[in-house]
Copies of this chain bind each other. A is one copy, B any other.
Amino acid sequence: MNDLPDSPFAAGLDAGLREFVGYTMKRATSAVTADAARVLEPMGLRITTFSALSVICHSPGVRQTELAAALGMERSNSVAVIDKLEKAGWIARERKSTDRRAIALRPTTVGLARQKQARLALLAHEDRLFAGLTAAERRDLVKLLSKIEV
Residues of A with Cβ closer than 8 Å to B? Answer: 1-3, 5-8, 10, 13-33, 36, 47, 51, 54-55, 57-62, 66-67, 69-72, 94, 96-98, 104, 122-123, 126, 129-130, 132-133, 137-138, 140-142, 144-150
Contact A149 B28 (CB under 8 A): yes
Most buried by B among A72, A147, A148: A148
Main secondary structure of the interface of A (DSSP, over half): helix
Stoichiometry, as copies per complex, reads 2
A–B pairs, 20, beta carbons within 8 Å? A2-B104, A3-B61, A6-B60, A6-B61, A7-B58, A7-B61, A8-B59, A16-B57, A20-B122, A21-B126, A21-B130, A21-B142, A25-B28, A25-B141, A25-B145, A27-B72, A28-B146, A31-B150, A132-B147, A133-B147
